[in-house]
Structure 1
């Protein structure tokens, strides 16, 4: 592989890693909002995750 191929491969690895981190953070926030938000029951809102 040439130097340019290594550079493109490195950029793709960084991009894919960044997307994974972003979606993990978004998924975590979304799950907390669903579990503790306006449609949650009182028991769910009192759970350890929501505190």
Structure 2
């Protein structure tokens, strides 16, 4: 398991609920990042 894998797995263990926003493109991912998202999901039907 890589370091990033461990960090992501630890986010699922709490103590708070993991809010995982789903970005549709780079712009929405940047907005989520600016708002403090600890992790961001990617969509299967997003645009580049």
- Please state which structure has a larger fraction of its residues in helix: 1
- Please state which structure has a larger fraction of its residues in strand: 2
Same fold (TM > 0.5) = no
In our comparison, the structure showing a higher alpha carbon Rg is 1
